Amino acid sequence: MTDHLTEYCGKILSGGFSAELCQRLTECLTTFVALDKMRLPIIPYIAAWRRDVKNIWYEHVGTRFMTILNCQPSEVAKVFRQRIVDRRLYRYVEQEANVEEEIVTKDELQGHQCGLREEVQNEGVVECIYQLALPGGKTIWLKDQATIEIFADDGICLSIGYLTEVTKEMEQKGLLEKFGYFDELTKLPKRVILQRIIEMNIGNLNRGYIKDFVFLLLDIDHFKAVNDTHGHQAGDQILVRLAEVMSSAKRQEDEIGRYGGEEFYAFSIGGMKNGLKFAERLRLTVEATNFVYNQQRIPVTISIGLVAGSQLAKAGGITMEDLVRVADLRLYMAKQSGRNRVVGEDPQ
């Protein structure tokens, strides 16, 4: 090993691997160590993994990456996994002249590392953006671009690439999305966000990245009577307060938005059992909340219809339209059977 690699802390050069792999790695290390010393606005790295084992390690990481993560080279893989919020892929759809965004959450990444790694190996390249949560509440975004080299005799894959910080660009993107994508009254995501969430998770379900998901439609009981009795300002205040209450009752991984009028939607990863718990938590929290307008208490309850993705998959396929149709039918059943209740299945 040459002098400029004396701080090497990887596994391959000291692990009895083939001369071909060691020579290629040494060439890359020599180049990346030199790049790192130039203090360019990129973070070079070399990651490696065995094709039959899911754990990844780093043969080299730029010093700036260790500064961002505040850890030693041997801890980078573990700390990086802990800091990930999500991983985003962007694909240009030529027919629609549109860019599709695919978001894979931290839990999905951890649960399907092998499947994602196989995709990377097959494609031979990596191009995605990671959102990281750092101590103190800071969030940064790193763009990952790399090529994959496979050494079949050693059973080793190398990801040779670099990270670029794109925090400002992603924050500007988020600001643009916020205008027109979030309801001005309740500050909740609009229906257009629901479309993206559903499409993304139908894809994740079909690819086996998640086992199931649930979609909920929620409606305020007797909301017309609130407007007729107390006025539309009271109705607006009820909507705002309801959004706050339901947001406080959801978990970080759950989604809640405004569907339109007095209807809201919710989404969660997991099967029907998880969905029913989520729905009941929302219903009970709303029922127990004291809604007040002009010092007058206004009783508020909600009815909920929900559907699991797996329920429609068994019938031959999942579409956004079918999810809404089934959830809306079950919401109607909840209304017809007395309101302030949850319905998650069709009548016998």
Q: What is the pLDDT of residue 22?
A: 95
Structure tokens at 243: 């959004």
The pLDDT score that the predictor gives to residue 2 is: 43
Q: Report the sign of the C-alpha dihedral through residues 315, 218, 280, 341, in that order.
A: negative
Amino acid 1: pLDDT: 43
The answer to whether 124 and 77 have CB atoms below 8 angstroms apart is: no
Task: Return the pLDDT at 6.
Answer: 53
Q: Give the tokens for residue 147.
A: 């090529």
- Spatial separation of the C-alpha atoms in residues 128 and 104, rounded to whole Å: 11
Q: Report yes or no on whether pTM surpasses 0.85.
A: no
Q: How far apart are the C-alpha atoms of 290 and 297, rounded to whole Å? A: 7
d(Cα 73, Cα 59) in Å, to the nearest integer?
A: 9
CA distances, 112 to each of 103, 210, 274 (Å): 14, 8, 20
Token digits for 88?
Answer: 């985003």
The residues, any chain, with a CB within 8 Å of residue 180's CB and separated by 6 or more, are 190, 192
Separation between Cα atoms, residue 29 and residue 16, nearest integer Å: 18
Q: Tell me the C-alpha distance between 34 and 43, whole Å.
A: 12
Write the CB contacts of 205 (distance below 8 Å, at least 6 apart in sequence).
Answer: 211, 212, 213, 309, 310, 313, 318
Residue 207: per-residue pLDDT: 82
Name the nearest CA neighbour of 140 among 68, 89, 88, 79: 68
Cα–Cα dist 9/75, whole Å: 11
How many helices and strands in the chain, by DSSP H and E? 12, 14
What's the pLDDT at 38? 87
Going across the sheet that includes 156-165, the strands are 56-61, 43-50, 156-165, 139-151, 125-133, 84-93, 98-105
Residue 69 — φ and ψ, nearest 5°?
A: -85, -15
Count other C-beta atoms under 10 Å from residue 240's C-beta: 15
Q: How far is CA 67 from the centre of its chain?
A: 25
- Residue 117's region, left for phi above 0, alpha for psi from -120 to 50, else beta, is alpha
C-alpha to C-alpha distance for 115 and 137, rounded to whole angstroms: 31
Let me know: does 238 contact 220? Beta carbons within 8 Å.
Answer: yes
Q: What are phi and psi of 281, to 5 degrees?
A: -65, -40
> What does the pLDDT profile of the chain (348 residues) look like in tens digits?
444 455 688 899 988 899 999 999 999 999 999 988 888 889 999 999 987 777 889 999 999 999 999 998 889 999 999 999 888 887 755 554 456 778 888 777 776 666 677 777 888 888 899 999 998 888 999 999 999 999 999 999 999 999 999 998 888 767 656 666 788 899 888 888 888 788 888 888 888 888 999 999 999 999 999 999 999 999 999 999 999 999 999 887 788 999 999 999 999 999 999 999 999 999 999 999 999 999 899 999 999 999 999 988 776 678 889 999 999 999 999 999 999 999 998 765
Task: Name the phi and psi angles at 37, rounded to 5.
Answer: -70, -20
Residue 99 corresponds to which tokens in the numbers above?
């860019």
What is the separation of C-alpha 299 from the centre of its chain, rounded to a whole number of angstroms? 35
Whole-number pLDDT of residue 203: 84
User: Which H or E element spans position 304?
Assistant: strand 302-308
